[in-house]
Structure 1
């Protein structure tokens, strides 16, 4: 059952979720950005603050409901960006340093902190003392550094980074910045990566911070573009000239770990949304490793929930990523490579804010009944196929 349908059926019950946290911690977590000014006193420092609560994107997406089926084990996700610092231990034993194509040091040096944050959203392991965890907590992360110490990069570096990630065997490649296209090196690199069986996921626009360059109106063909959802379940304000994204995912007031230690940061923007989709792709491949890149992309799109944004008469349809359906759904025609969307458009119901949380920038309350129902769906996806393989039949009542 798609997540949207589960949420529509379930009675609302408050859950502990945040982004950023409420109460005395509200607004206290430092913020990470896609780009920073030229560092004068070194790189981004470790955060000394943590929140024990579950971030709202996790409560919204419920990846834990399918962890009994897949945690992304055996899948390598490349993060092509500012590097990935493994000091927090969230990626312990699962972080590989790929090539560093710009800036000093290797790809485990992250002066900006942005790449580390995205990697944590994808694959940070769960801890007993905090609610935050990555979407696919057993996926491997390949760090490929393509930015300088301010987070700046160019088309040639991006293209080289994508090729390096594909050559290293990544099945999913998360790019931290929008991909220019449709001509030139990045577009050719995307085609090269797809030829090697890698799905490339990229933000539909820049994360903001007063940037003057527009998002590419026509991103590199073959890349899955992702835009950001706000905590109220509606699309965030799109960037200038941003093309229509393939999917949306949480991307506003997102909490996670960053460089230098186990402290938490917040960040916002399409790059965060792209990380959640990349993690979802890892979950799917962990459960269905035989999918081709075309089948994986089709599955992510076909199992998305459909909703609308905007006033009556000018509403725009969009597709939100649904990790539960992406892993568990049985899609007609998938074996033949002819997957078509199987979900009828259905508006996502508004989700109530958790007690004490302002409507904007704070967490969502997710229905407790939805959690149980989603878990039951995930369990059935394991038990029923196994029973069929053993020629199981229901016994007499």
Structure 2
């Protein structure tokens, strides 16, 4: 799990425990033979090697990813209410205060698994769930992108040792069958195993948006990560606080979008408190959260149309797009929710066929419909004023601009 934050607020004064860094986390790629994990290296307390303990430090400010994306600008329109997001991972700690009340029972597919997955020994799935849907809380500026969503845990691993591509495929199917609208996959494999390809196809047939990590194998340029490289999956890379591509973020033609993935803050099981970590695993849930906002506000859009909208409204650097490192740009929550695309009709559906992954659009208006409504109101006021002046000005001219009538108020004489 990620390293603890350097800032500590309202935490008991105890000696900092020794920390050990595990080699990887939820590494499907290592199990099936590639060794390019999508997840950041976890840091576990030395005196608790089995399960991640409640974080002892609290992020009191606003973390840079939240400041950079500004998801709260979309919240007047939607907070993701009514949308179910599945995290195919290590479970979700329902006892985390900022997630409490919105974590479903879920599905545990691991060997000897429990009937539910709303607990998380390892902590990775909880960290991801927090980025997607952590509710605002007193004492911290950390919040999730879509704090109104329902969080569906699908456990396919309990540690770095027991993930497989086949189990990941079962997890995707279980998420779809449990009613997920969006699926987060922060894991990868180098082999497009038939069961995984079929599971992704099944998700697309059921109109479910699937978002996956591009992986952390930037040094292995020839390696392609799956399921991120499959055509109906939105692959996500990572940027740092300066806006530069993270040095570990894998590149390729399959890359769709980028999002914050360096020094990312989120919650862990228990709490209150926060952890911090880096990896393309942690860039994925930012895009997943935005997809949930779009699905809530524009329910008529299909999964393909949601992917198109996220790509078409992204912030893109001055590069030839698609760029092998940035894809089509950095996800933009407010623009993704509110922008009016020329190929969409007024009811939120798509009126024209999507002929390109990213059309040549002017920079999206992040305020969108709000500005349009204000403009319409102002136009009505101006029309009314013109009509009024059309009636009053000729009459005033005829009177030489003298008052039309002078009324005097006289007191009646006393009786």
| TM-score past 0.5 threshold | yes
2:202 aligns to what?
192
Contact 1:97 1:144 in 2 (8 A): no
Q: Judging changes above 3 Å, is the alpha-carbon distance between structure 1 residues 76 and 23 closer, same or farther for their aligned structure 2 residues?
A: closer
RMSD over equivalenced CA pairs, Å: 3.6
Which residue pairs with 1:282 in the alignment? Answer: 292
**TM alignment of 1:1-397, pairs within 5 A:** 34-35=25-26, 41-103=49-111, 104-105=113-114, 106-150=116-160, 152-178=162-188, 180=190, 182-206=192-216, 216=225, 219-239=229-249, 244-308=254-318, 318-334=328-344, 335-336=350-351, 338-339=353-354, 340=356, 341-342=358-359, 377=367, 380=370, 383=373, 393-395=380-382, 396=384
Give per-residue Cα distances to partners, 1:11-36, cap 9 Å, x unaligned: xxxxxxxx9867788xx998996356
**Bigger Rg, structure 1 or 2:** 2
CA apart distance, 1:51? 1.6
Q: How big is each residue's C-alpha offset from its partner over 1:356-387, in whole Å with a ceiling of 9 and x where there is no partner?
A: xxxxxxxxxxxxxxxxx96xx267169559x7
Equivalenced residue count is: 341
Of 107-116 and 213-222, the range deviating more from structure 2: 213-222
Give the superposition deviation at 1:345.
8.9
d(CA) in 2 for partners of 1:315, 1:159: 27
Residue 145 of structure 1: how far off its partner (Å)? 0.2
Q: How far, CA to CA, are the matches of 2:60 and 2:150 in structure 1? A: 25
**Structure 1: gaps spanning 5 or more residues:** 1-18, 347-372
1:315 shift after superposition = 9.6
CA distance in 2, matches of 1:72, 1:37: 31
Correspondence for 1:3: none
CA–CA distance in structure 1, aligned partners of residues 51 and 67 of structure 2: 32
Which blocks of at least 5 consecutive residues in structure 2 are unaligned?
Answer: 10-15, 27-41, 345-349, 386-415
- For normalisation by structure 1, the TM-score amounts to 0.75
Counterpart secondary structure, 1:94: coil
- Return the alpha-carbon distance in structure 2 between the equivalents of residues 61 and 135 of structure 1: 9
Structure of higher RCO (CA pairs closer than 8 Å, 6+ residues apart): 1
- The answer to whether the 8 Å contact 2:237/2:326 transfers is no
The 3-state SS of whatever aligns with 1:42 is coil
What is the aligned partner in structure 1 of residue 392 from structure 2? none
CA distance in 1, matches of 2:272, 2:209: 30
Whether the 8 Å CA contact 2:258–2:327 is kept in 1: the answer is: no
